[in-house]
Structures are given as C-alpha cells and as structure tokens.
Amino acid sequence: MIATTNQIEVHKVKESRIPQVDWDNLGFGTVFSDHMFVVEYRDGAWQKPEIKPYGTIAFSPAISALHYGQAIFEGLKAFRNDKGEIRVFRPERNAARLNKSAKRLSMPEYPVESFVDAIQQLVELDQEWVPNGAGQALYIRPHMFAIDEYVGVRPSQSYMFVMFTCPVGKYYTGEVKVKVEREYTRAARGGAGNAKAAGNYGAALMASAQAQQDGYNQLLWTDSSTHEFIEESGTMNVIFRKGNTLFTPAVSDSILDGVTRESVLQIAKDWGYIVEERKVSVVEVIEAIKNNELDEAFGAGTAATIAPIRVINYEGNDFTLRPYTEWEFAPKISDYLDQLKRGLQEDTHQWNKRVV
C-alpha cells in the first residue's frame, strides 16, 4: 500500500511480523519492527524520503562508508504507558547531535524538523511494536553512511540516511564491573570521540573484548595522553557521587555529550545536588573507594539508561563500592527517568515528544 504523509511516501508491509515476537525475551537489538525510514542524499540535496518494509538494502562493495568510515549513528527510545500513550525522549537533541557528528565527518546535515517528523511517523506506524514491560522500550536507530561507488579518498557526494526501530529490553541486567584501561584509548584529543561515529565503536572492540575475557562487563576509558583521567565507560558516560555532589568528566573532543548524561545532570541540579563537570582522575576515584567516600558510580547512556558500577579494577586490583541497595541517587534517577519518559511525571523541561 502506498500513501504520502507529509512528504514521506509510505509503503506498508502486507503482513506484520508482530505475532512472531517473544516479548518476554527481547534482548537488545535482535528484533526489528515492520518498517524503516530511508532517504538518499544526491546532487547536493536530500531526495524524497520513504517509509518502507524493514529489510536488506543492496550496495556495491565499493561504497565509501565501507572503506573510509563515513558512517554515523544515533540512539533514542520511544516509551509506552499503561494508557497506551507513546512518547519519544528528546528527539531534537539526537537530531542536533547527528548533525554535529555529520559536520565532523564531512557529511551533510539532516534538518532537525524532518528528523523528528520521520520519527513521529515511523513510530506511529509501528506503534504496536512499542513495548511497555519493565525496562522495555522501542529503540530507534538513525544512521547515515556514504554511498559513493568510488575508491578514492574524499568526502562522498551521496549518502543514505536510515532509521529502523527495535523493541528492546534492558541492556545490562545488573550491576556492572569495569576495568580501567591504561593502554588502549577510545578517542584522542583532536580526534572524533565526541562524534557518534561508527569507527569509534569498532576501534574500541578489541580492548573491550579483552576486558570481558577477564570477567569485566566494560572498560573505564582514560585519556589518550596520560591515561590518568577518566573519559567514558564502555559506550556510556560515567557519573560519580560523593555526598551531595555529583561529578563527571567534562565533555571534550574525546567525550560524547550524552543525552542521558545531560538529562541526569539537569535533574540532579533540580533536586539540589551540586554538579561538577571537570577532570576526574582515576586515582581520585580509587582513593575515594578505599576511604569509603565514594557513594555511587554509574554509567549513563540511552541503551542502558543508568548502569550501576559496583566494581572498578585498577592495576590488577578490584575496588568494590557498597551494595546498590544502599545507594541513594542512581535508583532514584533511574525510576524518575523511567516514569518521566512514560509520561507519568511532570515533564518540567518539555523533553518528551508525544507520538500517540
């Protein structure tokens, strides 16, 4: 069936795959909803966007994204409540960051309003795919990549921008153990660490896999020149609490400005906490754990939301924080954000976009 809604041509599936979904075992990123949004950039302009059945796309093996890594992505989520209402959390913020990443990788920007409108239409069409179980959401994955069939190195002249969605469960199911990485680095000064570039994730895989073999969920990445200052944890920003103060590495050209990070820090300020965005040294954190002064440490990201860090391994030793049941902030912000995103808390900052 073909329909045109607000300039997006919509081709619907003949039959939904919904009956095949095992809603109690969604995992993360393995189940894909019925439709996807696709638009191409050619001859200096974005072409006609389409929503069509989710499926494979054929490409030449020469497309430049595959060779030179002009590929960027975003992650955001849609939430359902018991009344059947559906909201997407801060889509304008992800649209703006996509454009920041695009600029860094010499790719074209996509208009913020068109990004938000595409999400509205895609999620509305696939609204039955938005789960509402505890910890569940519809993960939306916008991504843009270079499709010039050309092997010379230059910014591609053509691109594809695609968004598909996945009903997901929790990314991490419990407390997280991390290992301080002092040899490899996620991003260097002057690099593209603050862009959500596919290559940043690929380059992090080897060291992360090594940490997992050693029994840790993720790495605590440190700065590239001294390895003394904390940057991120795995694919998340990292936040610490000591008493009434939350402190976190300040964003820089090697640290991603996470939407969850920014939201958590804003709410913490609303609640009267002191928030410090600054350099955070590994030694400061380890000493604070040793002196029983570090109250909490957690990762903040779209996929995981809040991931409590219980163990930090540094130079071969595990340093353990007190049990999560004794923590004050992470459980509270975790519940608050969940309720806010489902429309069950007053949306004081007008972060939600109501879709249904």
Residues that bind ligand COI (CB under 6 A): 75, 235, 301-303
CB of 9 to ligand COI, least distance (A): 28
Residues 6+ apart with CB under 8 A from 243: 295
Pick between residue 222 and residue 302 the one whose CB is nearest to ligand COI. Answer: 302
Residues 6+ apart with CB under 8 A from 181: 207, 211, 219, 220, 221, 222, 227
CB of 75 to ligand COI, least distance (A): 3
DSSP state of 244: T
Concatenating the DSSP letter of every residue in 181-200 gives ESSS-S--TTSSTTS-BHHH
The residue of the chain with the least Cβ separation from ligand COI equals: 75
Collapsed DSSP state (helix, strand, coil) of residue 342: coil
Pick between residue 174 and residue 202 the one whose CB is nearest to ligand COI. Answer: 202
Q: How far apart are the first and last CA of the chain?
A: 22
Which strand (E) or helix (H) includes residue 310?
A: strand 305-314
CB of 269 to ligand COI, least distance (A): 22
CA-closest candidate to residue 41, choices 152, 144, 180: 144
CB of 309 to ligand COI, least distance (A): 15
Q: φ and ψ at 197, to 5 degrees?
A: -95, 135
Determine how β-strand 76-80 pairs with β-strand 45-46: unpaired
CB of 301 to ligand COI, least distance (A): 4
Which long-range contacts does 268-274 make (Cβ < 8 Å, 24+ apart)? 268/329, 268/333, 270/348, 272/244, 273/241, 273/244, 273/245, 273/246, 273/329, 274/244, 274/245, 274/246
CB of 142 to ligand COI, least distance (A): 11
Pick between residue 10 and residue 176 the one whose CB is nearest to ligand COI. Answer: 176
Concatenating the DSSP letter of every residue in 88-112 gives EE-HHHHHHHHHHHHHHTT-----H
CB of 42 to ligand COI, least distance (A): 28
Structure tokens given for 116: 């938000």
